[in-house]
Amino acid sequence: MGTNISLNRVHVQPDHTLVIQNITKNDTAIYFCHGIFGQEMQFKYNYLIDPVMNTSVSPLVGNLNDWKEYHENYLMPLNGLIQVLMSPTFAVLYNPIRVQLKARTEWEIWGPCVACNRPQGERRRVGKCRLKVSAPKFKNVSIYKSDKHTQEILRGISQLSCQSYLVAELFPKISMVTRMVPQFIHVEYCVGFCKPGALHDTSEEVLPLMKRENLVLIKGSQTTLVCPKARAQTVVTWLKNGVMINPEIGQHDSDSARVVVDVFGSLILRRVTHKEEGNYTCYINNVKIKETIVWVFSQSQLISAESLRHMAYLGLIFALLFVCYCGGVAIACSKRHTFVLH
């Protein structure tokens, strides 16, 4: 602990705010505060820090009917597996902690209704996989005892993330399955009003100013245009020369599509031709964020242009040398009477 507490990874600020930097799985715990002698206990808030694993599973996107299919394909089989592994028969091996788990979807709040540059309004919300933690339904089962720290955590929580490190530590067999369950992004059409230039993002994060750039691509190549600050719950709209690009939800991996929008709002240009040239502009929740002008050239055109540019540089160098040479000859001729012969 240094004299400057702000440099410590874990410290308490003068206003009693707890700061934890670079969180690790060892920080898993329930945090709360009250006075030294227990005062203000009636205003106590509990905060669970549940570090999660960084998985490469891409989220699924769709409407409510797609979520029902997602529930049947992912959560129902997972709950069946959990019920078997946590039954009295397998409790000693797979449920050393006397708890019951059940997978479910926890929904975040809806994002804003985005109506600009679209045929109809759209809003999104993210559904995350959670494991509901509850007391066991069976008794008189021989189980292992968990450490005191884990017991305190389990007594004070009602759910854990499916990608939680704590789940992986306590229930490794179950965690191998739960960590692969993707998030679900629920897309719903809505009625909204377009107010160009108005900031409709409900988050406190300030969106960046609009950026402009030029991009030169070789014919047949591939590139990805990223819309800065885009997140899963934000509605990203891409326009090409002022016309909206249809994201075609669920068709992002189509091999025939040359211009597609992935679930994170990035624009992918595949096997580009001259038809893919144009002005690509992205909007986040009706706010214009980035503008990219794409040019497509064949490799021979780029080589020719490169050669012409180098020839121009060489011509400029030779011209400067010629001017310097002629200047030197002129100066020498004007001062030839000063030369001394030996």
pLDDT of residue 162: 93
pLDDT at residue 148, rounded to an integer: 64
pLDDT higher than threshold 50 for residue 144: no
**Residue 299 token pair:** 């490799």
Pairing label, strands 184-190, 60-62? parallel
Domain ranges across the chain: 1-49, 52-188, 211-297
Residue 163's Cβ-count burial label (10 Å; 0-12, 13-18, 19+) is buried
d(CA 101, CA 181) in angstroms, rounded, equals 15
Q: Is the pLDDT of residue 52 over 80?
A: yes
pLDDT at 151: 64
Backbone CA torsion sign across 18, 23, 25, 26? negative
Q: Does residue 249 have a pLDDT over 90?
A: no
Contact status, residue 156 vs residue 91, Cβ threshold 8 Å: no
Tokens for 19? 């700061």
Segments in the chain forming alpha helices (H): 64-70, 76-85, 91-94, 148-155, 165-170, 172-178, 299-334
Looking at residue 103, its pLDDT comes to: 94
Is residue 140 over pLDDT 50?
no
pTM of model > 0.85: no
> How much is the pLDDT for 305?
60
Hey, which residues does 188 pair with through a beta bridge? 123
- CATH number of this structure's domain 211-297: 2.60.40.10
